[in-house]
Amino acid sequence: MPEVSASEKARARRLSKALAEHYADAVCELDYTTPHELLIATILSAQSTDVGVNKATPKLFNAFPDPAAYAASTPAKIEPYIRTIGLFRNKAKSIHSAMKDIVEKFDGQVPSTMDELLTLRGVARKTAGVVLGNAFNINVGVVVDTHVERLSKRLGLCAPEDNVQRVERRLCALFPRDQLCDLSNR
């Protein structure tokens, strides 16, 4: 964890307070009702917009109501529901594989730890962070998407040359752990 000064933490607290006041109702923009739906929507959101994902997922979620339905299917049968989303063939394979592993290795329940989520195809730290924070209220890190990275650099919370991993470590050092998911959403 990078070292941060008391004045940097104080500035982060002020910024967090301002964000909470201006964006009090900020939530994950992906539409979902269960952890597995959020996991799938987040896998689909890679290099795609949340708006586009939210247009595709109602029919997908209706056709496949639980992880077992995806596991019993094939990527080819998932593809038509997500054809409007970029990289849909690879994402269909990831969804099928992830849901199959959830059924076979996790008794049909989306795992609630970073390490277990990272074993699923199509899941990297950002996706796992979205699921943990929003579906389980578990704050293990900051979800650093394009917007969080850009704003963190613009606000001077990290260096302009920092990569995503450094941005996340810096934000985790600056902000209280119990606020990390809300911070990402704001």
pLDDT of residue 75: 98
pLDDT of residue 1: 75
* Alpha carbon of residue 134 to chain centroid: 8
Residue 57 · residue 78 · CB < 8 Å:
no
Per residue of the chain (186 residues), what is the pLDDT tens digit?
A: 788 999 999 999 999 999 999 999 999 999 999 999 999 999 999 999 999 999 999 999 999 999 999 999 999 999 999 999 999 999 999 999 999 999 999 999 999 999 999 999 999 999 999 999 999 999 999 999 999 999 999 999 999 999 999 999 999 999 999 999 999 999
Residue 106 · residue 116 · CB < 8 Å:
yes
CB neighbour list of residue 86: distance below 8 Å, 6 or more residues apart? 47, 48
* Alpha carbon of residue 45 to chain centroid: 9
pLDDT of residue 109: 98
pLDDT of residue 163: 96
CA distance 14 to 26: 18
CA distance 41 to 64: 13
CA distance 132 to 181: 9
pLDDT of residue 137: 96
The catalytically annotated residue of 31, 50, 145, 153 is 145
pLDDT of residue 2: 81
Q: Residue 59 catalytic?
A: no
Q: Residue 145 catalytic?
A: yes
Residue 16 · residue 175 · CB < 8 Å:
yes
Helix, strand, coil distribution of the chain in percent, nearest 5: 65, 0, 35
The catalytically annotated residue of 100, 126, 162, 182 is 126
- pTM greater than 0.75 (yes/no): yes
Residue 104 · residue 71 · CB < 8 Å:
yes
